[in-house]
Structures are given as C-alpha cells and as structure tokens.
Amino acid sequence: MPSTNPPSGAGPAEPSDETLRRFLMREPEALARVAREIDAVVRQRGFFIPADHRADVAQDAHVSLWEACARRGFAVRESFLAFVRKIAYRRCIDWLRAQRPSAPLDPEMPDGDPRPDERHLAREELRLALLVLQGLREPCREILRLQIVDRMGYAEMAVQLGRSAGALRTQMFECLKEARAAFAKLQGQAPTERKRP
C-alpha cells in the first residue's frame, strides 16, 4: 500500500471538510478511504494502466495530495474526496502522456522551408520575370495572359482572338523565345537556344 505519511508541518490550520480533518490527523479510516478513492481511479479501464504500474501512479497521487495539503492557505472548493479523485486523475493522465512514443529529433534533419538564399533567389527571379513581361510586345502579353491566367488552350484562344490554333502556337514559340532572351539578358547570361517543337 502506498505511503500515506504527510510531510512535516502538513495541512491547514482549520480544515473545513470533516474527511480532510480526519485525513490530516492520520486517522486510519480516513487514510484507507483516500487510498480506496485513489486506487479506484488508477484501476479504471479507460487509462489502461498495467497492474505493475498502478502502485507507482497511486504513490504519485498520494505524494501530490500531501504536497497540496501542506501548502500554506490550502483549502478545497469541492468535497475533499472530489479533490482526491481530481489529483488521481491528473497523475493517471501524466502517466499516459509519459507512455507516448516519441522519436528523438535528428539534429541533422533538414528544414522543409526554403533556405534564405533560395527565398531571395525566388523573389529575384519573380522580379526579373515581371520585368520581362513588361518588356514584351502587347500581343505576346495577351496570349501569355490567356494561357497562364485564364488557363485557355490554343483552340479556345483561337476562337476568342479569331486566329488559327497553329498560328497561335507559332506566336507563342516566338514570344517565349523573346522572353527567354530578355530574361537571360537581365540575368547577365547569354540566352539558351531551344529548338522549336
């Protein structure tokens, strides 16, 4: 059975609950009643506490109870036995939390977010792309907008613009070639030639 001896100087000067008063006086019947309350909580099936761990959890509840009673100005708002059960429930929850499997964090695990230099590079590429778009001829900006923003295919664009899909494909190829050259120029590189599909 768990130890029920209080720490020295435990308890309030004037306990308001008769069970609490008798518990603090260490009357065997009150000590046994408290032990039964704690054991009833610890043995509840919902906590799945194995039999060989229950005594430790109950002991933790007894220690917490005596520590609470020893605090200066200690008083219970509910009945003392309800307070005892509350402490026992808390120690059961502590036990459950301690059982959660937790893998140690690998200090070498890479961060999933982009590195600061990668974020800067992405922002710079976006800035350059906007500059390239602003520098393109209006017909190129129009077909790029229709395909990228409005998500139109060549057949839909052909209907809207009154041109053939083949002519739009040719124009798109030329516009992208122009955009790549402008982008490479802004980056200070020679443009890479891509073969027409």
153, containing H or E segment:
none
Other C-beta atoms closer than 10 Å to the C-beta of 194 total 10
23: exposed, middle or buried (Cβ count in 10 Å: 0-12, 13-18, 19+): buried
Tell me the per-residue pLDDT of 176-187, one tens digit each, with 9 for 90 and over. 898 888 888 887
Is the pLDDT reported for residue 191 higher than 80?
no
Across 22-28, average pLDDT: 92
Instruction: Give the pLDDT score at 16.
Output: 58
DSSP string, 62-128: HHHHHHHHHSTT---SS-HHHHHHHHHHHHHHHHHHHHS--PPPPTTPPPSSPPHHHHHHHHHHHHH
Which residue's structure tokens are 């443009």? 191
- Cα separation, 161 vs 164, in Å, equals 9
Tell me the per-residue pLDDT of 120-134, one tens digit each, with 9 for 90 and over. 888 888 888 888 888
84, 91 Cβ separation under 8 angstroms: no
Tell me the per-residue pLDDT of 62-78, one tens digit each, with 9 for 90 and over. 999 999 999 988 888 88
87, 61 Cβ separation under 8 angstroms: yes
More confident residue, 154 or 15: 154
- Residues in the chain, total: 197
pTM exceeds 0.75, yes or no = no
- Cα separation, 13 vs 154, in Å, equals 89
